[in-house]
Amino acid sequence: MIRALIIDDEEHGIKSLELLLAKYCPEIKLVASSSSPRQSIQLINDYQPDIVFLDIYMPEMNGFDLLEQLSFRDFHLIFTTAYREYALKALKANAFDYLLKPIDFEELQKAVEKVKLKKSNNHKIAELLGIMNESMESKHLKVMLPTKTSIESVLSNEIVYIEAQSNHSLVALVNKQQHLTLKSLKEYEELLCQGESRFFRIQNSFIINLNEVVRYTKEDGGFVTMSDGKEIPVSKLLKKDFLSKFGLESN
């Protein structure tokens, strides 16, 4: 019997994978599941499972941050994600298994079969985290936020979204703080929205951090829900480019 643990910030994601495992992978025994990344750290260290199914993209703490904090890593790691672009190059390079949501039962069975044939990827986890840390350090710019009374310094990954306020901009951070800055949205666009950046100008008044998007809703013309609960409409002209950032097509 192979002992498994599921970590996914969305309950329906956990339930869906539980049903697939029960139906198509009877050799798997689910010992625990959690929608809280912080709780999951303790669960992994306590249960010491054979397999961890880990969602990459969680607003409270992403999958790589969670792995950094584990004391027990002697398990098979299978990533799950709805986003084709996010970190998949690093996973492929290190031969990690990953399942794209919605999870296909045949792909799940293949991943489980691989687990039976190989040792845990404990050493590969350390290698992957090293690569991811180098990548993140190069992408997390220091951003200066000049206000009327001070100049705040933040890392780019701390920004959830930036909203135009006339010739100024409101910068919302992951710690719930907001700063009304003296820079225009255009200036932030030139600084942050270049090349393979995870920042995207989703409409005239907003730049968003794609890593902080927790939901895309198709109704009402299409809008995103950010990690702080902010709902932002997607420009019709930019919808195709926005969805392509996640490997999706507009319909």
CATH code (residue 188)? 2.40.50.1020
What CA–CA distance (Å, rounded) separates 28 from 11? 20
Q: What residue ranges in 86-182 does DSSP mark as E strands? A: 97-100, 142-146, 151-155, 159-165, 168-173, 178-181
pLDDT tens digits along 40-82: 999 999 999 999 999 887 766 778 778 888 889 888 889 888 7
**Mean pLDDT score of the chain, rounded to an integer?**
85
Query: Would 228 be classed as within a structural domain?
Result: yes
Q: Provide mean pLDDT across the span 85-103.
A: 67
Q: Which of 104, 138, 172 is the last residue of a domain?
A: 138
Domain residue limits at 125: 2-138
Alpha helices in the chain (DSSP H): 11-24, 37-47, 63-68, 88-93, 105-117, 122-139, 185-192, 239-244
First and final C-alpha spacing in the chain: 43
- Please give the C-alpha separations between residue 190 and each of 68, 114, 162, 193, 199, in angstroms, as whole numbers: 32, 45, 13, 6, 11
Report the predicted TM-score, pTM, of the whole model to 2 decimal places.
0.56
Asked whether residue 148 carries a pLDDT value surpassing 50, the answer given is: yes
Query: Would 197 be classed as within a structural domain?
Result: yes
Instruction: Kindly state the helix (H) or strand (E) to which residue 7 belongs, with its residue range.
Output: strand 2-7
Query: Are both 94 and 120 inside the same structural domain?
Result: yes
Which segment of 125-134, 152-161, 197-206 scores lowest on mean pLDDT?
125-134
Pick the more confident residue, 115 or 232.
232
The pLDDT value recorded for residue 85 is: 56
Beta pairing, strands 2-7 & 51-55 = parallel
Q: Which of 80, 115, 138 is the last residue of a domain?
A: 138
Q: Which tokens in the block code for residue 16?
A: 């869906």
Length of the chain: 251
Q: Which of 105, 138, 171 is the last residue of a domain?
A: 138
Number of domains forming the structure of the chain: 2
